[in-house]
Structure 1
Amino acid sequence: MASEDVKTSGSAVSTIVNLAEEAKLAREGVTAQSYAFSICKSLFAGGVAGAVSRTAVAPLERLKILLQVQNPHNIKYNGTMQGLKYIWRTEGFRGMFKGNGTNCARIVPNSAIKFFSYEHASKRILHLYQQQTGNEDAELTPLLRLGAGAFAGIMGMSATYPMDMVRGRLTVQTEKSPYRYRGIFHALSTVLREEGPRALYKGWVPSVIGVIPYAGLNFGVYESLKAWLIKTKPYGLVNDDCELSVPTKLACGAAAGTVGQTVAYPLDVIRRRMQMLGWNNAASVVTGDGRSKVQLEYTGMIDVFRKTVRHEGFGALYKGLIPNSVKVVPSIAIAFVTYETLKDIMGVEIKISD
């Protein structure tokens, strides 16, 4: 009888343990699925934010690149309005958005990876910082936010760099170019066949150097401004729930974009010029008579910097800065606000300010 009781008791305990294990596994499964779904929603929000922000300023993006690689001996336009009117007059509405399809194909994964990388890098850095200081309530400093943003920028840029290189060439070519790429995949295959795989990463080094202050300052300034506003609550810009209004977030994004692009812009010019190397039909190498060519010869990033300054002056490193400034102010602002708004709508738990 006692033996039966022991067996019954043992069976009951075993059943309880099994049920507990099954419940635990079920909870873990739900948690894993929920976390994976949250990641997907985060990536989706970042991708949509990038596409919306870049499409909104596509004409200015194209004008910036054309100004960066414009032949100094055959200047067709100098200012933003003059350049936009020239593109409209010579190529029409479609010319204003030339290369935007490639740009969106690049910026969607770039933006998704960048925002996602920043979220997780900032959380990891914050955890290490709290352990180091022994203060569980410690918050990220502006410098740490800049570091997380730089890491995110490098990850996003490196993953999509070949698309950026192709976008530059598609954007620069015109109706009068002797040779035209028919699209993204045609451009990729042509560059691979004629110039080799390394050509897809021309200008990668200055891009990495440039993305560190650019992305770092974008995220660092934006997050630091938001944190400061929430903490100080000046001029009634923060509501009772410590939430910033959309116009205030747009202003923070505009300030972040302006600071970041001004610091990193010369490296963007160098990168773009290096991407044009090896392409004899780039619009920038056609001289005034429309027939002869001036072959640009650079041996590397330093050589591009030296020859650009020597032949065109230091100001050439900021060619296209004005249209880029006009572009960056709304672009970065729209990207940040779109990203955070979409995540609020979809109910994603992970927030870049957490």
Structure 2
Amino acid sequence: MASEDVVGKRTGESAVNTIVNLAEEAKLAREGVKAPGHAVLSICKSLVAGGVAGGVSRTAVAPLERLKILLQVQNPHSIKYNGTIQGLKYIWRTEGFRGLFKGNGTNCLRIVPNSAVKFFSYEQASSAILWLYRQQPGKEDAELTPVLRLGAGACAGIIAMSATYPMDMVRGRITVQTEKSPYQYRGMLHALGMIYREEGFRALYRGWLPSVIGVIPYVGLNFAVYESLKDWLIKTKPFGIAENSELSVVTRLACGAAAGTVGQTVAYPLDVIRRRMQMVGWKDAASIVTAEGRSKELLEYTGMIDAFRKTVRHEGFRALYKGLIPNSVKVVPSIAIAFVTYEAVKDILGVEMRISD
């Protein structure tokens, strides 16, 4: 009987503790404070949503992504890819269906964590920037402005790019391999190991500086244009497109398309230079990028400025926009799909905070 009393007492205490804990969580929820477990779960869901958004959007435009990189680094004296339609047909004819998606697996391995970190970093950076902005006298009730969103997006882009840059470097080299080039890299891990052994650790971050400089306007403008355009549409309701402070999927896709167009046009030359710098040090890249018997000067860049100078001198200013058309065709749906997928997955997972908030 004594043991039964002890068990009953413990059971009663456990029930009381459970009720107290639930009451505490309810109180925290009413006060707008999330329990630690809830916060961790929310972070995980946000990261998952960002990762899914990145994987879905990049896979949808993988053939255009590969063609863009091939156009960026191809030998200007031996043109194989001449435009979007012709380039895609050439890849299909010479490498088949799989050739259109070559490097996409590696790209997804890179873009999933990159996208997850980018979206999550944007949410955290925008919250922090807004908090700092509200500390100024008379700004207590201020909202995010396009400039603040641009700053938050730039922070998110730098963090995500730096965290996953070696994978981007490897993806560029794997994507450039064609049916006639030495298949030096069998996959991401193999490529990482070979580059580290043959070229050193610094080679994994070759082209990082133009990447970071380019990602500031690219990601910053993507978030700033997307969110500002959405806010404007919701507040002004032109043509009755906004109902109950919500936009349709089609309208959000259009906002994402506009954001992608602005961002990629501003940052594209830096993307070209990044790709070319990533080829430096790869002994088999000469068979892909330079003509036979021609000096390898185009592959020997001492830095970002030198790469800009040599590219313009040897190929003209237009070379800085090689691959822009397939990239434009790719970026517009890619950014649009990424934003809409991100918000849709967060809705499915039940995450309260969205980038619009």
Q: Normalising by structure 1, what TM-score?
A: 0.90
1:181 to 179, 185, 190: 185
Residue 196 (structure 2) pairs with residue 157 (structure 1): no
Question: Which residue pairs with 1:333 in the alignment?
Answer: 336
Residue 345 (structure 2) pairs with residue 342 (structure 1): yes
Residue 206 (structure 2) pairs with residue 217 (structure 1): no
Q: 1:323 is matched by which residue type in structure 2?
A: P
- Contact map agreement 1:213 1:264 (CA 8 A) in 2: yes
Alignment of 1:1-354 (within 5 A): 23=21, 27=25, 31-239=35-243, 241-282=244-285, 283-287=287-291, 292=293, 294-295=295-296, 296-354=299-357
- Contact map agreement 1:285 1:293 (CA 8 A) in 2: no
Q: Normalising by structure 2, what TM-score?
A: 0.90
Worse-matched range after superposition: 75-84 or 198-207: 75-84
Worse-matched range after superposition: 335-344 or 26-35: 26-35
> Which deviations, in whole Å up to 9, do the C-alpha atoms of 1:191-248 show, x marking residues without a partner?
0000000000000000010000000000000000001111111111101x21000000
Query: How many angstroms does 1:136 deviate by?
Result: 3.4
Q: 1:280 is matched by which residue type in structure 2?
A: K
- Contact map agreement 2:126 2:152 (CA 8 A) in 1: yes
Query: How many angstroms does 1:25 deviate by?
Result: 10
Tell me the distance in 2 between the aligned counterparts of 1:294 and 1:237. 58
**Secondary structure in 1 matching 2:94:** helix
Tell me the distance in 2 between the aligned counterparts of 1:247 and 1:24. 41
> Which deviations, in whole Å up to 9, do the C-alpha atoms of 1:88-110 show, x marking residues without a partner?
01000000000000000000000
**Secondary structure in 2 matching 1:132:** coil
Query: How many angstroms does 1:314 deviate by?
Result: 0.2
**Secondary structure in 1 matching 2:179:** coil
Question: CA distance change for structure 1 residues 89 and 133 in 2, over 3 Å: closer, same or farther?
Answer: farther
Tell me the distance in 2 between the aligned counterparts of 1:147 and 1:66. 32
- Report percent identity of matched pairs: 76
Q: 1:175 is matched by which residue type in structure 2?
A: E
Q: 1:342 is matched by which residue type in structure 2?
A: V
Tell me the distance in 1 between the aligned counterparts of 2:328 and 2:289. 26
- Contact map agreement 1:285 1:294 (CA 8 A) in 2: no
Q: 1:82 is matched by which residue type in structure 2?
A: Q
**Secondary structure in 2 matching 1:76:** coil
Query: How many angstroms does 1:133 deviate by?
Result: 4.3
Structure 2 unaligned blocks of 5 or more: 1-12
Query: How many angstroms does 1:121 deviate by?
Result: 0.6
- Contact map agreement 1:63 1:83 (CA 8 A) in 2: yes
Query: How many angstroms does 1:180 deviate by?
Result: 2.1
- Contact map agreement 2:66 2:101 (CA 8 A) in 1: yes
Tell me the distance in 1 between the aligned counterparts of 2:83 and 2:186. 29
Structure 1 unaligned blocks of 5 or more: 1-14
- Contact map agreement 1:148 1:216 (CA 8 A) in 2: yes
